[in-house]
């Protein structure tokens, strides 16, 4: 299965960046390609949410389960249903050298082998671009919010 990993350094405390990433319903406010995120269920250790994003102006929708590891500052996510066959991975947040290092890993499968053979590199580029867009938006938001709400 294709796997994409994107990284960014954010000048904000790791706990703050992690908490911002957990607040998924706010993503459409500062992430341009995220149209909606609706949290269907939430508890201390996770959430189930319904997402609608745009990739090249085409809507992609899915429901995912997120597991929050507050001690490790890690969010694991996994597709429950939607437009993809597989979509899972993790966000990690590590405070090092006075900044936060964020890694977003995405393991995905669009479920159409012939399509993957024909446009696999394009799909990988779009997944990478989307991941980098999300990280850049998280950086702008975290660095712009110097004080907790």
Tally the domains of the chain.
Answer: 1
What separation, in Å, do the N-terminal and C-terminal C-alpha atoms of the chain show? 39
Give the pLDDT means over successive 10-residue stretches in the chain (149 positions): 92 96 91 91 95 80 96 97 90 97 91 60 80 93 69
Residue 99: inside a domain, yes or no?
A: yes
Domain that holds residue 82: 3-23+67-144
- State the sign of the Cα–Cα–Cα–Cα dihedral 14, 64, 36, 56: positive
CA 57 to CA 16: how far, in whole Å? 31
**Cβ(116)–Cβ(123) below 8 Å:** yes
Residue 34: inside a domain, yes or no?
A: no
Q: What is the pLDDT of residue 110?
A: 72
Residue 49: inside a domain, yes or no?
A: no
Residue 81: inside a domain, yes or no?
A: yes
Residue 7: inside a domain, yes or no?
A: yes
Q: What is the pLDDT of residue 148?
A: 47
CATH of residue 80: 3.30.530.20
Read off the DSSP letter of residue 47: E
Q: What is the pLDDT of residue 75?
A: 98
Residue 139: inside a domain, yes or no?
A: yes
């Amino acid at each position: 299965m294709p796997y994409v990993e994107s990284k960014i350094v954010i000048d904000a405390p790791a706990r703050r960046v992690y908490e911002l990433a957990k607040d998924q319903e706010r993503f459409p406010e500062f992430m341009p390609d995220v149209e909606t995120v609706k949290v269907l269920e939430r508890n201390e250790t996770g959430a189930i949410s319904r997402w609608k994003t745009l990739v090249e102006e085409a809507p992609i929708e899915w429901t995912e389960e997120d597991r929050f590891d507050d001690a490790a500052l890690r969010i694991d996510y996994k597709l429950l249903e939607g437009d993809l066959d597989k979509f899972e991975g993790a966000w990690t947040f590590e405070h090092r050298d006075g900044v936060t290092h964020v890694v977003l890993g995405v393991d995905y499968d669009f479920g159409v082998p012939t399509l993957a053979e024909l446009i696999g590199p394009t799909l990988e580029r779009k997944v990478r671009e989307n991941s980098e867009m999300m990280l850049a938006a998280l950086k702008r938001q975290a660095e712009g919010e110097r004080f907790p709400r």
